[in-house]
Structure 1
Amino acid sequence: MPTNGLTSLQARERLARDGENTLPGQAPRGLVQIGADVVREPMFLLLMAAGGVYLSMGEPREALALLGFIAVIIVVTVLQAARTERALDALRELAAPPATVLRDGQWLRVPSRSLVVGDVIELAEGMRVPADACLTDAHECALDESLLTGESVPVAKAAGDEVMAGTLMVGGQAHATVRGTGRHTALGGIGASLGTLEAAASPLTRQLGKMTRTLAVAGGALSGLLALLVWLGGERWQQAVLAGITLAMGVLPQEFPVILTVFLALGARRLAAHGVLVRRLPALSTLGQVDVLCVDKTGTLTENRMQLARLWAGGETFDTAGDAPLPEPFHRVLEYAVLASEQTPLDPMERAFHRYANAQLAGSEHLHPGWQLNWEYALSPELPAMSHGWQDGGAGREIAAKGAPEAVAELCHLDAAHRQRVAQAARAMAADGLRVLGVARARWTDDTPPAIQHDFDFEWLGLAGLADRLKAGVPAAVAECARAGVRVVMISGDHPETARAIAREAGIAGAEVITGSQFGALDEAGRARVLARCSVFARVSPLAKLAIVRALQGAGHVVAMTGDGVNDAPALKAADVGLAMGARGTDVAREAAAMTLSDDSFTAIVGALSQARRMNANLAAALLYTFAVHVPIVVLSLAAVLLGLPPLLTPLCIAVLEILIDPACSVAFEADQGRADPLDAPPARHARPGGADIVAALAAGLAVALIAGGVYALALAQLAAPAARATAFATLLIASVLLIGALREQGLAALPKAARWVMVCGAVAPLPLLGFAPLSGAFGFAWPPPSMLLIALSGALASLPLARAARALARSATGHRASASPK
């Protein structure tokens, strides 16, 4: 391997020559394509149809006004969509994993796009290979090449082998020299995509989609029936079509997708400020429904900064705390623990061995920098122990092994009494929260290594206990989860006693510990019984983690899973919400998860739960507002036609209400902080509003319809239709804004700043529509006298208490207690 790598100057020259290490992805949507997507929306199609009808009726002013309004909305929507595309590009850039590269003799973390041919890179377990490269050295290296080959079985790699961009390191560590970047890689050559994990729609997205389709079908049927009745009543076909279009626009819940997207995007931004990066927006609503949180111990609850805490040899124990020198009887345990580790370790435990050995054994015969590593035997599920064979300059090889105490004891073929002493010492160390490894040595005189580790004649040396301290704030965060009705389940690969000690320190309920093998041996009913009483699992394999998550989901729980390693990825992907560690997490874990904790803080999860629950409550309130505000539109559209009155609402009026005013008012709910702590109650099973809440919202909307209809009837008795229409529309517009207060538990008290601005703008918005001649003519309005404007304002103000009373009456009739809307 080159000693210094490329120089910075060489890297810049090659980057300018070959281009960035990025793949030719999907072309971004242009403005024309974005515009085409926008005009295919049902609301815009209805508006354009209405404009065409106005033209056929010989009313070009109304048609041009309507089409001009459509053009303005399309321009605004296209510009916003373009901004969203740029934001998504920036997010993808931020989420791109960095690479570790040797430049100017120093190891640096750089964006993977800056890699060039000739760079020396470091690869470790859990990393995605950033470019095509040739391995210069490899230790127990295995890659998942399924992205390119479709073969899911990991492929072992050795020095001199080629590795391809996009493949995943699922084991070992290596150094490699870059041979190809960007479009010159195998992945770029076949045009494959790096997006291997598809984002599934959340339950809320599916529920709202189903609700929208149902309302669209019902609205279409009612609109067609109304148009037919108007035509049969003697009106021109154009008038009949306009009546049908008006009703269809009133029924169609055009705002649902907009409101959902805005709430999720703003919620994700809030979580990002708390150190939680949301990769899949729909998962944010699911997080608010989580009632079981499965946590990986190492790196999630603990610091993942191992320190050698205790050694055991010959029945004696030595604690490493303090500055006392290491006694001679323990030198060989530490010596062979280092020999059984990687020469340049990445594993926290192996680093701890190296640090302590360099401090205690420097200059002694127990450190062997000149020895050459010849053989390696990797850990396996069947035998959780690893061995290294070293050439020490003499005949034969020196063999060092470390691993689970019971596995190393098995390799040493200890008698029953000796095994019992080892097990007792290991349990005592594990009970103090230590990660315990057994250490052994052997001598092999043949030049050919045996096929399996059992063929060595191992000598038992002792135990090493490593401490991985609990992170600050974890016990308080676990207590907060319990208060919120979220059960914390700890899943660990450690010894059962270690897992029990850490769980006890963290405050996780229950003293029972079940191992992964015990859980795997149970049938479905047995697993359900274990999960009902046990919250601590030890010696858990990746498949057992996945089985635990699926069993919890099968019992009806909404499960979140945290993790940082390759072994966590299957469970992260299967969980309802996967939470990957961002700082220490592997690339594959981050890709499998829906969210990433940027600073690996477990306490950030509690804040994310609170934010997600509040967002769900506010989203439910916004959707209820949307239901309520559609009621007067539908009722007044129908009433005017059925009673033979001049139409109150035209398609242009409804467009203003549904495309501008209603979404703005709905967003006012997004910033609502409420009065109650979201963590004081158990999680809601659904983020969408319930049936009783919808009935109450419809009742409030009906009250607004009665007020606006009454004002219209009173105005028609005294004024011409254009002035009466303007009076009633002003009432409806202001009442729609005040409906925010009717649907909040605390009314207009403690309104968020956003809501106050919306209400002020809503009160001012009608004025130019009523008094500015070009606009008022297009809407069919005429300026009403001051006395009627006072009646409009009075009616709108009266709608607030009436809507609140109607809502309370409906909730009382359904026996419903407040739950979905903000407190």
Structure 2
Amino acid sequence: MQTNSVEPVTDIVSGDGELASPPWHTDMRRGLSSEQVAEERVRFGRNVVDSTARRTWWRTLWEVLREPMFLLLLAASGIYFVLGDVSEALTLLAFVMAIVFLTVFQSHRTARILDSLRELSAPRAQVLRDGQRQLVSAAELVPGDVVFVDEGARVPADGVVTEAHELSVDESLLTGESVSVSKSVARANALAQEDPYGQLFFGSMVVQGQGQMVVTATGLNTTLGRIGKSLTGISEARSPLQLETRTFVNRFASVAIVLCLLLVAAYRLRSGGWLPGVLAGITLAMGILPEEIPVILTVFMALGARRIADDGVLTRRMSAIETLGQTSVLCVDKTGTLTQNRMSVRVLFAQGKWQVIDQATRHIEEAYHELIEYLVLASEIEPVDPMERAFHEAGRVGLAGTGRLHKDWSLVHEYALTPELPAMSHAWHTPELDHHAVACKGAPEAVCALCHLGERETQAVLDQAAQMASGGLRVLGVAKARHSQAEWPEKQHEFAFTFVGLVGLLDPVRPEVAGAITECQAAGIRVVMITGDYPSTALAIAAEVGIDGARIVSGQEVAAMNDSQLREAIKNVDVFARVKPDQKLRLVNAFRESGHVVAMTGDGVNDAPALKAAHIGIAMGLRGAEVAREVASLVLLRDDFAPIVSAIRLGRRIYANLVQAISYTIAVHIPMIAATMIPVLVGWPPMLAPIHIVFLQLVIDPVCSIVFENEPERENLMRLPPRRVGARLLSGRALAQGATAGALAAILVLGLYAGLLTQGYEQPLARTLAFVSLVAGNVALIFVIRVLPQSGARAEVRRQNRYLWIVLAVTGVALLLLMTVPALARLFGLVALLNQGGGV
């Protein structure tokens, strides 16, 4: 393992050993002030390399104007002009403008929602400003900012290294070389780019260690920006649902072309005119084309992502929303997900005895002072991790006035924790001693191995650790060593460590977790705990939150199993302990190969492969590494379990409402197609014209994209099993139900039209009554689709949806105006029913 000396500096050292001012004369202890940041941002702009333009109204308008429906409407208007029906043509054009406005508004609103979600998922940076460490969007960085980088982070700008702790960076995005580059504190010539080992470059990834840098270039002025390279890469591939709906729409379009040509030919044979036949064909095409479906899919996914974000989960990939309803296994970590990640020292074990620490504890016995002393020394000087904060707090309270808090000692060497050796060591320069003090903390078994304890001694320590862990505590071992030689050992094993003791930390379970897990289990979702903690700790937490811990498998047992044995083991095991990151990937793949849809949480660099392999990778937004967030489908805006369950619930609701919306689209197009085709084929006067289709579209579009999107969830939504893998958006049953409902509406409308014509009513009056019945049928189909059972759900009366009543009220007012204003009725080729001698 490579180790580096710790190199803290307050200024950049020049080549001749003289201190040089940092770039932009930054105060390294306070960073830039808010006023300086504002000035630099005006001068240099946002720290953005990708030049993807935000969605504009004009761009959205241009996309809408190219839609087939719009082109058909323009063609119909042109034919009306040729036929001499100027008023009809102008009316149709007015409706065209209304449809364009509504479509542009909806599309632009959806695009802006997606833009805002992308901004939420943008990289962030830890920066020192006004003397405070802050978390800001990387786009807000300016030259002169003091930025902290650590393992798993994407370097947010170009800069020079001012502090390095085993810092190693992957620069393959720039160089193409996959070998990581070690970084050290920059010299003055780093600014002239003559010291690449003292520089960090925008877009590179920190693969080991941590450090601090001063930003020297942002945005297009960075190395990445100058070569014009984009971090966004290739756009996301179409999801299975997008491919399915695209195929569905294309099939409808093919059918529409054939039917339209047949209708034009039939009209020509019956009437001898081409233009009226073409107009009838256009009307039919407008009635057949389900152009709402792609819009519905986009709107549902965008608004669904916003709903999920409101519940604390950021959607990085829209396809994850589709998959949420299929989730059958949810793999979660313990610390910070099931627990609160607010640790406190609860039990100390040293010199063969132990002491419990709680709120009533006023004094820590002297026998445990050395244990706390070396716990603090083995922790970061300025801790961020809750566990190390707990150690510092225990030292502040328990060691006050004892002389064991060493403010004058300086950290000179460190050894990082690795998957192979889960222990870390810090070496300190001690002014009053003739040697360096080395402090180590880590997994009890790893510390025992470093101390070269005998089998009996090791077993005694591990038995004590297991007893502490059985109470749900996280247990660490502590050791100490002296080092007097000039050279530092390559490995921690080369130190002569002495065992000091054990510490047990309490991390309380989140109060809402047990209920959320019960909800998952009722929904047919297995919750599997995968933790690096002690088996006894994992079992205690599992029992508290309601996870089946009847059998537990350790990482050591996982390593001993082949893939077949592992697939067999996971059938009945819900708790995995002492698991290493590479074993998480094996577990995810085993669940996948067993036919499960897997969602998994993770936060570290080593979790990235497993997050990527899972159907839904869920990264921790607050404590997660940047690389984990990049590969994940979902990012938790607050690191706990409840938002995951909320996201699954919302994913099921979004999908169920999408099925309803598309079922309604299919159902409502059937009477429109029948009312356009059948009168022409049997020799009746045409019932529908393009303007009638436009009116119906103004009802259908908001019903699909607003009403059904806002449908409340069914009461038994989270008591249904997960949707099976490979299930089509519309099952044969759902398709048959929608088609049957639409066919019944078509029979009633055409039956009314035929009956009125047969009884001798004039065609305008028959068309008027049939058109009113068609609108009423469309409205009735909303209620029919709402109460139809879906994929195992029983039929039920739905809760109120205020958007439904708003749309129905607007439709009713529009229809009332059409039936009461003669001039308006004439534009539609109808008669004003309520003005014919007091009504019909």
Q: Same fold (TM over 0.5)?
A: yes
Taking the TM superposition and a 5 Å limit, the aligned residue runs for 1:581-620 are: 581-620=620-659
Where structure 1 has 5 or more consecutive residues not aligned to the other structure, the ranges are 792-823
Structure 2 counterpart of 1:758: 807
Report the counterpart of residue 68 of structure 2 in structure 1.
Answer: 42
Residue-pair matches, total: 791
Answer with 50-59 or 352-361: which moved more: 50-59
Does the Cα contact within 8 Å between 1:738 and 1:759 map onto a contact in 2? no
Question: Aligned match of 1:384 in 422, 429, 433?
Answer: 422
Distance change in 2, residues 1:149/1:674 (3 Å): same
Cα shift at 1:720: 3.0
From 382, 386, 393, the counterpart of 1:344: 382
Give the CA deviation at 1:257.
Answer: 1.8
2:41 equivalent in structure 1: 15
Q: Which residue of 1 aligns with 2:317?
A: 280
Deviation of residue 773 (structure 1)? 5.3
Counterpart of 2:734 (choices 687, 693, 714) is: 693
Local SS of the residue matching 2:571: helix
Cα separation, 1, equivalents of 2:732 and 2:837:
38
Q: 1:782 aligns with which of 831, 835, 838?
A: 831
Q: Deviations over 1:326-377 (max 9, x none)?
A: 3333222222222222222222222222221122123434332222322222
The answer to whether structure 1 residue 716 and structure 2 residue 757 are counterparts is: yes
Percentage identity across paired residues of the two chains: 46
Match of residue 483 from structure 2 = 444
In the TM superposition, what is the alpha-carbon distance from 1:704 to its structure 2 partner?
0.9
How do 1:593-742 residues align onto structure 2 when only pairs under 5 Å count? 593-664=632-703, 667-673=706-712, 676-685=715-724, 686=727, 688-717=729-758, 718-742=760-784
- Which stretch shows the higher mean deviation, 55-64 or 236-245? 55-64
SS in 1 for 2:335: helix
**TM-superposed deviation, 1:324:** 4.3
Change (3 A) 1:369 1:675: closer
Q: 2:159 aligns to what SS in structure 1?
A: strand
State the Cα distance separating 1:497 from its structure 2 match. Answer: 2.1
SS of the residue aligned with 1:532? coil
For residues 154-193 of structure 1, what are the structure 2 equivalents within 5 Å? 154-160=180-186, 161-193=198-230
SS of 1:297's equivalent in the other structure is coil
Contact 2:265 2:277 in 1 (8 A): yes
Q: CA 1:503–1:388 in structure 2 vs 1: closer, same or farther (change >3 Å)?
A: same
Q: Distance in 2 between matches of 1:386 and 1:575?
A: 30
Corresponding residue SS for 1:765? helix
* Conservation of the 8 A alpha-carbon contact between 2:121 and 2:314: no
Of 75, 78, 81, the residue aligned with 2:107 is 81
Structure-2 change in CA distance of 1:22 and 1:741 (3 Å): same
SS of 2:810's equivalent in the other structure is: helix
Find the aligned partners of 1:542 and 1:150 in 2 and give their Cα distance. Answer: 26
1:143 is paired with a residue of what secondary structure? Answer: strand
Alpha-carbon distance between aligned partners in 1 of 2:569 and 2:298, rounded to the nearest angstrom:
40
CA distance in 2, matches of 1:128, 1:527: 35
Matching residue of 1:369: 407
Report the Cα offset of residue 778 of structure 1: 4.1
Query: How far apart are the structure 1 equivalents of 2:250 and 2:532?
Result: 47
Residue 547 of structure 1: aligned partner: 586
Runs of 4+ in 1 over 6 A off after TM superposition: 746-749, 785-791
Give me the TM-score of the superposition, normalised by structure 2.
Answer: 0.88
How far apart are the structure 2 equivalents of 1:100 and 1:670? 38
Q: In structure 2, what is the equivalent of residue 523 of structure 1?
A: 562
Q: Give ranges in structure 2 of 5+ residues lacking alignment.
A: 1-9, 11-27, 187-197, 788-794
* Mapped contact 1:665–1:737 kept (Cα < 8 A): no
Against the structure 1 CA distance between its residues 84 and 620, is the aligned structure 2 distance closer, same or farther, given a 3 Å change threshold?
Answer: closer
3-state DSSP of counterpart to 1:439: strand
Amino acid of the structure 1 residue aligned with 2:734: D
Q: Would you say the 8 A contact 2:266–2:680 is kept in 1?
A: no
Moved more, 272-281 or 446-455: 272-281
Q: CA deviation at 1:488?
A: 0.4
> Secondary structure of the residue that 1:216 maps to in structure 2?
helix
**Residues 147, 497 of structure 1: alpha-carbon distance in 2 compared, 3 angstrom cutoff:** farther
Deviation readout 1:244-273 (Å, 9 max, x if unpaired): 322222222111122223333343343344
| Partner amino acid, structure 2, of 1:158 | S
Change (3 A) 1:294 1:308: same
SS of the residue corresponding to residue 596 of structure 1 reads strand
| 2:504 match: secondary structure | strand
Deviation at 1:635, TM superposition (A): 1.6
The answer as to whether partners of 2:329 and 2:596 remain within 8 angstroms in 1 is yes
Of 533, 538, 548 in structure 2, the residue corresponding to residue 499 of structure 1 is: 538
- Aligned equivalents of 2:170, 2:566: Cα separation in 1: 31
Name 1:219's counterpart in structure 2.
256
Higher mean displacement: 94-103 or 422-431: 94-103
Return the offset for 1:409: 1.6
Letter in 2 for 1:101: V
Q: Provide closer, same or farther for how the CA distance between residues 603 and 59 of structure 1 changes in structure 2, counting only shifts above 3 A.
A: same
Distance in 2 between residues matched to 1:20 and 1:617, nearest whole Å? 41
* RMSD over equivalenced CA pairs, Å: 2.8
Judging changes above 3 Å, is the alpha-carbon distance between structure 1 residues 760 and 33 closer, same or farther for their aligned structure 2 residues?
Answer: closer
Q: Indicate if the aligned counterparts of 1:624 and 1:689 stay in contact, CA closer than 8 A.
A: yes
Give the equivalent residue in structure 2 for 1:268: 305
Relative to structure 1, the CA distance from residue 114 to residue 66 in structure 2 (aligned partners, 3 Å threshold; closer, same or farther) is same
CA distance in 2, matches of 1:340, 1:655: 73
Q: How many Å separate the matches in 2 of 1:521 and 1:221?
A: 62
Letter in 2 for 1:69: F
